[in-house]
Structure 1
Amino acid sequence: MSVSLSKGQKISLSKDNASLSRISMGVGWDVAKKGGFLGGLFGGGGGDIDLDASCLVFDDAGQSVDEIWFRQLKGMNGAIVHTGDNLTGAGDGDDESIKVDLSKLPATVKSLVFTVNSFRGQTFDKVENAYCRVLDEVSGKELAKFVLSEAGSHTGMIMAKIYRHNGEWKIHAIGEKTSGRTFHDMMPTIQGVL
């Protein structure tokens, strides 16, 4: 059974799934139906929203060891794979997905931080129904879902962190608003959630 996460909540992904080895972080969103004058001025044109999901890998010391995003679709020697960039947000289901083989990650990996940002600079005022969810890749079962309900003038969000704690994989629903067209711009805020 999937757990609906609220901002700040932490749960174990391994507790009821002892054999959990491969997960997928799916991200979805829709174009907001109401724009408004300021949204049109600052949000970019057109009816498409290009949000980009990224996975940043950190060690115990909080140092970045890999970055998986639309310009680098594979990382950690193939243990993490981004399935590709969705430029519009159109369609049902996950718009972007990042697959992680937890069993192939080196023991030095402490946490995976998942972010989403608007490369074109469109703000979250133009987005609705945004979410991230973790699936067990083997069974296809949804383990946890976090609805990113906060609209605003921000262009990025730190969605969640998946991390090791006492031999278990856990998820922390973060939902921290940020600004930046790529995760590089968001790095000071990301460092603060490690």
Structure 2
Amino acid sequence: MAINLEKGQRINLEKSNGSKLLNICVGVNWGAIEKKGFFSKTKEAVDLDASCAVYDENKNTLDVVSFRQLKSNDQAIRHSGDDLTGDLNGDDGLDNEVITVDFSRLNPKANHVAFFINSFRGQDFKDIPFASIRIYEGTPTRVNEVFAKYDVANDPTFAGSVTMVLGNFYKRNGEWKFNAIGTPTRDRRLEETVVTIQQNYL
């Protein structure tokens, strides 16, 4: 049974049978913006970019994985590739971009793996009809078991924001845990978000 996460909630990466979750997928799903005209409705493609940044225990940046760099230097993190449109015909239940993480292969210095999304064309989050992330076991094309879900859909407090910090995997006493953040930022570029997370969310 998947956990429905709430903002600020922290969870252990542990399955119902007690075993640790070491190989995960983080999928991001979002919809296209609906524009209403005088006689019809049209859909405006939305280009969100899912990314993650890796930091050590001193909050130094070790690596960034995004549509520009699809694999981490240690090969433990992989990005499925850039989705430029979102779901044009309503929620199809599939993830638009997926980032896989193998915690067993991560750089031993890694202490945080933070996930975030940037609106590439500067489209406002309050206008995007739905957006969610889910943590699951499987591959980018096959879901074996959903571990947790987190809805970051259109919220009035997101108005004016084009970047959102989704959450942070962090290591505590040798075990990985997850903190659901779900906070928009004023950043305009991916590089700015990496610094914002470093300063405020680790």
1:12 maps to: 12
Q: How does 1:140-159 map to 2 (within 5 A)?
A: 140-149=144-153, 150=155, 151-159=158-166
Q: Is the 8 A contact 2:53 2:194 kept in 1?
A: no
Bigger relative CO (Cα 8 Å, ≥ 6 apart) = 1
The answer as to whether partners of 2:15 and 2:21 remain within 8 angstroms in 1 is no
Q: Deviations over 1:158-177 (max 9, x none)?
A: 00111111222111000111
Counterparts of 1:19-30 in structure 2, within 5 Å, are 19-30=20-31
Equivalent positions of 1:129-168 (< 5 A) are 129-137=130-138, 140-149=144-153, 150=155, 151-168=158-175
Deviation, 1:112, is: 0.4
Unaligned runs of 5+ in 2: 38-42
Deviation (angstroms), 1:34: 5.2
Aligned residue runs from structure 1 range 114-125, under 5 A: 114-125=115-126
Name whichever of 182-191 and 125-134 sits farther off: 182-191
Q: Deviation of residue 14 (structure 1)?
A: 2.6
CA drift at 1:48: 0.3
Q: How does 1:84-123 map to 2 (within 5 A)?
A: 84-90=81-87, 92=92, 93-123=94-124
Match of 2:189? Answer: 182
What letter matches 2:54 in structure 1? V
Query: Which of the residues 57, 61, 64 maps onto 2:61?
Result: 64
Is contact 1:118-1:180 (8 Å) kept?
Answer: no
Once the two structures are superposed, residues 86-140 of structure 1 have per-residue CA deviations (whole angstroms, 9 ceiling, x without a partner) of 0000262101000111110132110100000111111112212201111123772
Please give the alpha-carbon distance, in whole angstroms, between the structure 1 residues aligned to 2:73 and 2:134: 21
What residue is the counterpart of 1:40 in the other structure? none
Pairwise CA RMSD of aligned residues?
Answer: 2.1
Alignment-mate amino acid for residue 52 of structure 2: C
Identical aligned residues as a percent: 39
Call closer, same or farther: CA 1:187–1:35 in 2, change over 3 Å.
farther
- CA deviations on 1:10-63 (whole Å, 9 max, x unpaired) are 011136452422101000111233579xxxxxxxxx710000000100111101
State the Cα distance separating 1:189 from its structure 2 match.
2.4
**Cα contact 1:31–1:126 (8 A) shared by 2:** no
Partner of 2:40: none
How far apart, CA to CA, are the structure 2 residues paired with 1:179 and 1:125?
Answer: 13
Structure 1 letter corresponding to 2:67: F
Report the residue type matching 1:126 in the other structure: D
User: What TM-score does the superposition give when structure 2 sets the normalisation length?
Assistant: 0.84
- Indicate the SS of the match to 1:131: strand
